[in-house]
Amino acid sequence: MSERKKAEDFAKEQKEISVSEFFEKNKHLLGFDNPTKSLLMAVKEAVDNSLDACEEAGILPDLVVKIKNVKEDIYIVSVSDNGPGIVKEQIPRIFGKLLYGSKFHRLKQSRGQQGIGISSVTLYSQLTTGVPTKVWSKVESKKKTHYCELHLDTTKNEPDVIKEEDIEKDILGEHGVKIDMEIHGRYRKTVEDYLKQTSISNPFAKIMYTAPDGTKTTFPRSLNELPKPSKTMRPHPHGMEFGILQRLLQKTSSRTLLSFLTNEFSSVGQQSAKEICKSAKLQDSMKPQDMERGDIEKLIKSMQTSKVQRPPTDCLSPIGEAELEKSLKKEYPSAEFITSIKREPEVYRGFPFLIEVGIVYGFQEGKKKDDDEKREDSIELIRFANRVPLLYQQSACALTDAVKGVDWRRYNMQQSGNNLPVGQMKLVIHICSVWVPFVSESKEAVASYPEIIKETKLALQDAGRKLASYLSGKRRVGEQKRRLQIFDRYSGEVASAIAILVGKPEKEVEKKLKSLIESRAHIKEDTPEEKEQGK
């Protein structure tokens, strides 16, 4: 080697990096930072996929989740569903190739969106135990169950099938998928938390769960109906970016700019399309492929500022106000007060999204400390994105930022500075969107897009007002009761004084006084309340 390293020396070292090698080395980006989280990730990815498949196929999901401790820190995570099954040709790539799937290229709400989740578990299990992922799939009751054992070839990012066969044994009923993954992990209650929260946001799903110690828990359906199926949308003109528009123009089969605009976009009719062309000073008969940079720049500016309708909302599938409330009542039956709200859809980067908020106040469950201590704790924040519970990275999440950005003192809650409010409350936030922007591939926190934070704050304020109304009512009643109690305490003295004054027997006066106090204790609660500034 010469004294100084030359360009040619550098050239010899340049090399392609496969996406699997990249994530193998960066496994924490996929959520596999530590054994506890890794075990949860395996459960989560499999459950999310099962729920997506069932929902899309129009099947009420019946899921069976089992975690078995093989030895020391090695676990088998097993998840099976009654979904549509997977055709055998697709199994290897779905489970053994990163960045492969049906959900990335379409604009429609689903739990998965990246094509990374379940294959990342295969990657992680071969990294930590070397045991192949096992998949059983049955697509029709008449057909046999197909069985497949596979690895992921990280240098190529392609599946490596170890074994494949049709089997006689019927383990899946009519149709469905079962998957077994053997991984290095650590078992904690987070798995149950995840399933419990999943059950809240998917009230139409039934999940039967067996913990490593054999304990069985069933999370039943609280709803016997699937949500309305969400539809695929086309891109919205407001969120267009130069490079994307340029590509669409190249690839379109539309022969004029006008038809391009009406065919390729949501919310653009003949009239809006004409207006877009006009304000961009472009001929609407122009051939899309002929457009040059200057034209595209003008077009995009016009598209972004044009007055077109909001994106369609049938691509979204919120939990629903009543459904969320019902779900929460099922999970927290002892709560003092439960409410929920659902906002209208909004848009970021052209993607529609919608926020729902639920509040559970004054829960008894899990009450271990005495009341004084309890009061000091921050509220519990339960975050969902497209019905999937987000259990980690709370402080990096836009939803958390929104909670901290609301002045909860206005709603009779304690809060110091810009921290989470304090008190006996569980706060549920659900963002659903055709594309949730996550801060990392592990999908644990929502990225801080200003539109999302703003809309979430508005949703929280809506819910906060309902809470404040309950709390101030409660406080008023409480204060009245206290006042009457004081009165009651001295009623003996008062009675004897009055008895002397009016010359009647003390007993009689006291009896009358008591009945007066009692009647006052049942005061009506329907008067409008003034919100008051808390401490």
Contact pattern for its own copies over residues 288 through 307, marking x by CB under 8 A: -----x--x-----------
Stretch that binds its own copies, among 90-98, 187-195, 457-465, 511-519 (CB under 8 A): 90-98
Q: Which is nearer to its own copies, 194 or 392 (CB)?
A: 392
C-alpha 15/C-alpha 425 separation (Å) is 53
Sorted by sequence, the CB contacts under 8 Å of residue 443 that are 6+ apart come out as 31, 114, 117, 385, 388, 390, 436
Stretch that binds its own copies, among 5-13, 317-325, 362-370, 515-523 (CB under 8 A): 5-13
C-alpha 485/C-alpha 306 separation (Å) is 65
Q: Does 1 bind its own copies (CB under 8 A)?
A: no
Contact pick of 139, 181, 286, 335 for its own copies (by CB under 8 A): 139
Q: Does 85 bind its own copies (CB under 8 A)?
A: yes
Q: CB of 130: closest distance to its own copies in angstroms? A: 5
Q: CB of 362: closest distance to its own copies in angstroms? A: 27
DSSP state for residue 434 in the 8-state scheme: S
Cα-based angle 452, 455, 460 (whole degrees, multiple of 5): 120
Sorted by sequence, the CB contacts under 8 Å of residue 378 that are 6+ apart come out as 419, 420, 421, 422
The tokens describing 196, both together, are: 């419990």
Work out the number of other CB atoms within 10 angstroms of the CB of residue 9: 11
Contacts of its own copies in 453-492 (CB under 8 A): none
Whether the Cβ atoms of residue 306 and residue 221 lie closer than 8 Å to each other: no
C-alpha 239/C-alpha 300 separation (Å) is 10
Contact pick of 61, 92, 112, 115 for its own copies (by CB under 8 A): 115
Q: CB of 72: closest distance to its own copies in angstroms? A: 10
Q: Which is nearer to its own copies, 298 or 466 (CB)?
A: 298
Contact pick of 65, 80, 96, 100 for its own copies (by CB under 8 A): 100
Whether the Cβ atoms of residue 124 and residue 27 lie closer than 8 Å to each other: yes
Q: Which is nearer to its own copies, 22 or 490 (CB)?
A: 22
Q: Which is nearer to its own copies, 34 or 271 (CB)?
A: 34
Q: CB of 79: closest distance to its own copies in angstroms? A: 17
Contact pick of 64, 68, 73, 127 for its own copies (by CB under 8 A): 127
Contacts of its own copies in 228-267 (CB under 8 A): 241-244, 246-247
Q: Which is nearer to its own copies, 73 or 488 (CB)?
A: 73
Contact pick of 37, 44, 97, 206 for its own copies (by CB under 8 A): 97
Q: CB of 227: closest distance to its own copies in angstroms? A: 15
Whether the Cβ atoms of residue 292 and residue 246 lie closer than 8 Å to each other: no
Work out the number of other CB atoms within 10 angstroms of the CB of residue 21: 15
Contacts of its own copies in 58-77 (CB under 8 A): 58-59
C-alpha 459/C-alpha 438 separation (Å) is 20
DSSP state for residue 102 in the 8-state scheme: S
Angstrom CA distances, 39 to 73, 79, 118, 121, 226, stand at 10, 13, 13, 9, 29
Q: Which is nearer to its own copies, 214 or 450 (CB)?
A: 450
Q: CB of 77: closest distance to its own copies in angstroms? A: 17
Directed axis angle between helix 506-521 and helix 450-489, to 10°? 170
Contact pattern for its own copies over residues 36 through 55, marking x by CB under 8 A: -----------------x--
Q: Does 6 bind its own copies (CB under 8 A)?
A: yes
Q: Which is nearer to its own copies, 4 or 169 (CB)?
A: 4
Angstrom CA distances, 165 to 78, 135, 279, stand at 19, 11, 61
Angstrom CA distances, 342 to 8, 106, 323, stand at 61, 25, 11
The pairing of strands 337-342 and 216-219 is unpaired
Looking at residue 350, its amino acid is G
Q: CB of 237: closest distance to its own copies in angstroms? A: 16
Contact pick of 49, 110, 119, 129 for its own copies (by CB under 8 A): 129
Total residues in contact with its own copies, by rule CB under 8 A: 77
Contacts of its own copies in 186-215 (CB under 8 A): none
Stretch that binds its own copies, among 88-96, 164-172, 261-269, 479-487 (CB under 8 A): 88-96
Contacts of its own copies in 16-35 (CB under 8 A): 16-19, 21-22, 24-26, 28-29, 33
Q: CB of 156: closest distance to its own copies in angstroms? A: 12
- For residue 399, the surrounding DSSP H or E stretch is helix 398-405
- What is the distance of C-alpha 344 from the center of its chain? 17
Contacts of its own copies in 365-394 (CB under 8 A): 393
The pairing of strands 380-385 and 62-71 is unpaired
Whether the Cβ atoms of residue 166 and residue 145 lie closer than 8 Å to each other: yes
Q: CB of 29: closest distance to its own copies in angstroms? A: 7
Q: How many CA atoms lie within 13 A of 375 on its CB side?
A: 5
Q: CB of 468: closest distance to its own copies in angstroms? A: 28
Contact pattern for its own copies over residues 410 through 449, marking x by CB under 8 A: -------------------------x-xxxxx-----xxx
Contacts of its own copies in 145-174 (CB under 8 A): 154
Cα-based angle 522, 523, 529 (whole degrees, multiple of 5): 145
